[in-house]
Structures are given as C-alpha cells and as structure tokens.
Amino acid sequence: MIIMSQSENYRIVKSQLPLVGGMGGHNFIAVLDPSGKVVHELNGLATSEDGAIKPIGYLPSDRLKVYSETEAGGFFYNPSQRQQTLYEGSYESVMDKYNKGYEAGKKINDQNLPYPFFGLGKNSNSVASTLLNQMGLDDPDLGNALTPGEGSLLLPEKNWCDPSDWKDWQDEVNRDGKAYGYDPLILNLDGKGIQTLAPSSVSARFDHNADGIATATGWAAAGNGILALDLNNNGKIDSG
C-alpha cells in the first residue's frame, strides 16, 4: 500500500498537448503529486457513436465527452508541455477542487453534446475552460498555439463572488447534528487548516454586546482569511 504524504503540496495545472507540430493545442487539467508525477487528469475528447475515443471529431454522430485518466485509459500529461500551476495545496484541498471538476464533467456528459466539425467550435478546449470555472480556478492562456474553443463555457458560469452560486455547498454539509451559523467566516487560505489566536495574544477588541465597551476577542492566524458581512459599508470589521 502506498501512503501519500499529506505534508507536501499537490498541484493542479492547466497543460497543453501540442497538435499539428505545435501550431495547435489541446488543453486539459492535470493533478501532480509533490514529486511532479501526474496522478489524475480531466480531458474533453471526441467520441464516436460506438464510444471509442477519436483524435478529432468530424462525423455528425461524434460527441464531446469528458474523461478522467482511468476512463481515457491513460495520461496525456508530459512535463515538457506548456503548462501553468493554477492551485497548490494539501492532497485533500487539491482533490476537493478536482472532484468539483469531475462532477462538472458528468454534467457536460449528460448533455450529449455534438463534437464540432474538426473542432471548429465548442470543443475539448471548452471543456477545460468550463471545468476550471466550475473549480473556481483561473483559465490562463498558455501561449501562441491555436486553441479554438478556449474560453467558451459548456455550463452556466460560476460567479464565485455571488453567494447564490454557493448553494451547492449546502448539500455537502452534515445536517444530522445541531449547527449554528455566525459571521465572520474564517477561510483556510494556505491549506494548512484553520488556525486561531487566543484573545490574550492579539489586540483586536470589539463591542460584542452593543454596550459601548470593547472587549478582547480571538482572531484568525496568518494564512487565514476572514469573511464578514459589512452592514454599514465602511470596509472594516468594527463590530461584534
């Protein structure tokens, strides 16, 4: 049994398989372990009527499907490819984002989309752009290769600044026990877990009871973010 190190960072990269001597490119998503070895992939690929993967679609019966490395029967990634790291963190945090992409891929497959003639339209590059959007990651341009379909989305765009797009998180919460929601919300930005500081070690003080007296409070450590509702629109956290 292989024990994966949880103390070293895994990475999500957008990589590009060169096509036509490097003039064109096929974008896809890869997960790399701390040593740089590829462990997971998500690819959009042309698929024939009988379910076989094709290098390019050109028949009316060809479909655009999303595959993991297991479903595709192998990896497309090579360290020499044009690529950019989009996210780096613990194995758990990386796989959380990867799984969001995998679930989005299943939604794309459910649409049974036709593959555009010779890729001239929404194609495998559109799959990569869509999955990255659903994962909450950037979709950078990797270079000068022709990548038709890049930037086009196959699912409704996720707006990660709009709380209404967070509603699917509710389905991942265990609701069997009691739960109490408060702001501020502490965000794990560095992938090392939530870390807090005792009131005695910070200078933050707030009027928790609205009695005119500011009292000491605990705080989030460096590497964490605080999300709070700014009711008076002054851009500050100034009230308990």
Model pLDDT for residues 168-178, shown as the tens digit of each residue: 555 555 556 55
Sequence letter at residue 128: A
Model pLDDT for residues 115-159, shown as the tens digit of each residue: 999 999 999 999 999 999 999 999 999 988 999 999 999 999 987
Helix H or strand E encompassing 110:
helix 91-110
Model pLDDT for residues 180-208, shown as the tens digit of each residue: 555 567 777 777 677 777 777 767 677 76
- Please enumerate in sequence order all residues whose Cβ is within 8 A of that of 46, keeping only pairs 6 or more positions apart, or say none: 53, 54, 55, 56, 57, 62, 63, 64, 115, 119, 123, 124
Q: Shortest CA distance to 63 belongs to which of 50, 82, 77, 81?
A: 50
Give the model's confidence band at 108: pLDDT under 50 very low, under 70 low, under 90 confident, else very high.
very high
When comparing pLDDT for 226 and 89, which is higher?
89
Instruction: Check residue 167 and give its pLDDT.
Output: 56
Instruction: Check residue 40 and give its pLDDT.
Output: 98
Question: Strands, E, within 2-62: which ranges?
Answer: 10-19, 24-32, 38-47, 53-54
3-state SS assignment for residue 220: strand
Looking from the CA of 42 toward its CB, the CA atoms found within 13 Å total 29
Q: CA 152, CA 129: separation in Å to the nearest integer?
A: 7
Instruction: Check residue 181 and give its pLDDT.
Output: 54
Contact call for residues 137 and 113 (beta carbons, < 8 A): no
Q: Give the range among 20-24, 33-37, 45-49, 123-127 with minimum mean pLDDT.
A: 20-24
Task: Please state the domain extents for the chain.
Answer: 10-135, 180-240
Instruction: Check residue 64 and give its pLDDT.
Output: 98
Instruction: Check residue 154 and give its pLDDT.
Output: 97
